[in-house]
Structure 1
Amino acid sequence: MEAYKLVLLGESAVGKSSIVLRFMKDEFSDHIDSTIGAAYSTKSVEVDQDGREVRFEIWDTAGQERYHSLAPMYYRGAQAAIVVYDITRKATFERAQAWVQQLQQAASAETVIALAGNKCDCPDSAREVDALSARALADSKGLLFMETSAKESINVTELFERIAQIIARKYKHKPRRSSRPHAAVLKKEEASGGCGCG
């Protein structure tokens, strides 16, 4: 089975770890801790009716600014990246654009990049980033785009499945080596701030 490195990038408290938890275990917690460094996990996704699977090696990176300098170490060699922003915090969308630019400059041209607007379960009154603007940005940059809710399990599995399908086509005859960590930092620290929706 092919193994593909996927990294999640985005500001603190946008819901990266919640997205991973929903995808990995179909669970949600209001009290998830902030990631320190990066957390590593693996999961396989079936990509066609023949039962072909893609195994994701998922790196959930820390969003706090003091860890931003570590990001290139985690996205180096990645076949896919999900840049996450919080639809209720415009600043996280603006920062997501910087993450996309950084990825497109430094990552392989083959890297599949997805833009995910998380917390789409929040009321419209809390929304600061409209889906049309985000989709227009994604289209202009050649990104996959979805709005997600880790809390309500909206489009999370679908996002990973879509990435897996794209990767399976791109790397049909190019098996990947494992990117398993030698000494990944898997610690958490208490989160602060951000909307309570997921």
Structure 2
Amino acid sequence: MKRVDLKIVLLGKEYGGKTSLLERYLYDHFHGDLPYQNTIGAAFGAKKIQLDDKQITMGIWDTAGSERYEAMSKIYYRGAKAAIVCYDLTDSSSFERVKFWVDELKKFEEDCMIYLCGTKKDLVQEDRQCRKIDYHTTTDYADEIGANLFETSSKTGECVRELFTQIAMDFVNKYVPSSKEKNEDLILESPGKKSTFCCSS
């Protein structure tokens, strides 16, 4: 069994649902009825997921959403292979902050896979008038930047596990060579072996 480490960072505006998303995934908890506590700097959690013969260990950084911690957040998304950029479906201004974080990632971590995550879906399901961010606007933007899009509810758990599973699958497909690919590389690189590829001048 092969162990692979995957660094994920959560970014987004304050009160955007990042901490609740992480707690639902890691511990299957939702503390929505408790007084809100700001994340200071960043919080960290880890979880293992099994994909075929690979055990993926996810290290997940939940960064503070307050603008005064933005400079500090760069420390935590450095080297991240995936970023979940969260926005609150009931807060139109939170989606504007998404664009800021996407620009930051494109500038400093261009190989980082980006996932847009609309949070608090349960609220807009209960009352459609609560939705302040048009779904088609978000899908168009996701297509524009080449990102996956999920709408989640940390209260009900809807699409939370699916989001992180998709990240793990995409990571393996992009960064972890299969056994077959490794064997082909060995054949191509071994002395005395003829390459199956050729070119003509």
- TM-score grouping bracket, smaller chain normalisation: 0.7 to 0.9
- Who is 1:112 aligned against? 113
CA root-mean-square deviation: 1.3
Shift of 1:108: 3.4
Shift of 1:51: 4.4
Shift of 1:43: 0.4
Q: What's the CA shift string for 1:57-109, capped at 9, x where partnerless?
A: 00000001111111111100001100000010010001111111111111032
Query: What is the DSSP-based 3-state SS (H/G/I as helix, E as strand, rest coil) of the residue aligned with 2:106?
Result: helix
Does the 8 A contact of 1:80 with 1:113 survive in 2?
yes
- Unpaired runs of at least 5, structure 1: 175-198
Higher relative contact order (CA 8 A, sep 6+): 1
Does the 8 A contact of 2:4 with 2:54 survive in 1?
no
Give the distance between the partners of 1:37 and 1:112, measured in 2 at CA: 22
Give the distance between the partners of 2:137 and 2:57, measured in 1 at CA: 32
- Who is 1:59 aligned against? 61
AA aligned opposite 1:42 = A
Shift of 1:138: 0.5
Query: What is the DSSP-based 3-state SS (H/G/I as helix, E as strand, rest coil) of the residue aligned with 2:122?
Result: coil
Q: What's the CA shift string for 1:116-171, capped at 9, x where partnerless?
A: 00011112111100221111100110001100111111111100000100001111
1:180-191 to 2 correspondences below 5 Å: none
Query: What is the DSSP-based 3-state SS (H/G/I as helix, E as strand, rest coil) of the residue aligned with 1:33?
Result: coil
Query: What is the DSSP-based 3-state SS (H/G/I as helix, E as strand, rest coil) of the residue aligned with 1:168?
Result: helix
- Who is 1:91 aligned against? 93
Shift of 1:53: 2.4
Does the 8 A contact of 2:82 with 2:167 survive in 1?
yes
- Who is 2:141 aligned against? 137
AA aligned opposite 2:56 = V
Shift of 1:4: 1.0
- Who is 1:172 aligned against? 176
AA aligned opposite 2:75 = M
Shift of 1:13: 0.7
- Unpaired runs of at least 5, structure 2: 179-201
Give the distance between the partners of 1:145 and 1:4, measured in 2 at CA: 20
- Who is 1:155 aligned against? 159
Give the aligned length. 171
Q: TM-score, normalised by structure 2?
A: 0.82
Q: TM-score, normalised by structure 1?
A: 0.83
Does the 8 A contact of 1:11 with 1:85 survive in 2?
yes
Match of 1:29 among 28, 31, 35: 31
Give the distance between the partners of 2:87 and 2:50, measured in 1 at CA: 27
Give the distance between the partners of 2:41 and 2:55, measured in 1 at CA: 29
AA aligned opposite 1:80 = A
AA aligned opposite 1:114 = Y
Larger-gyration structure (1/2) = 2
Query: What is the DSSP-based 3-state SS (H/G/I as helix, E as strand, rest coil) of the residue aligned with 1:35?
Result: coil
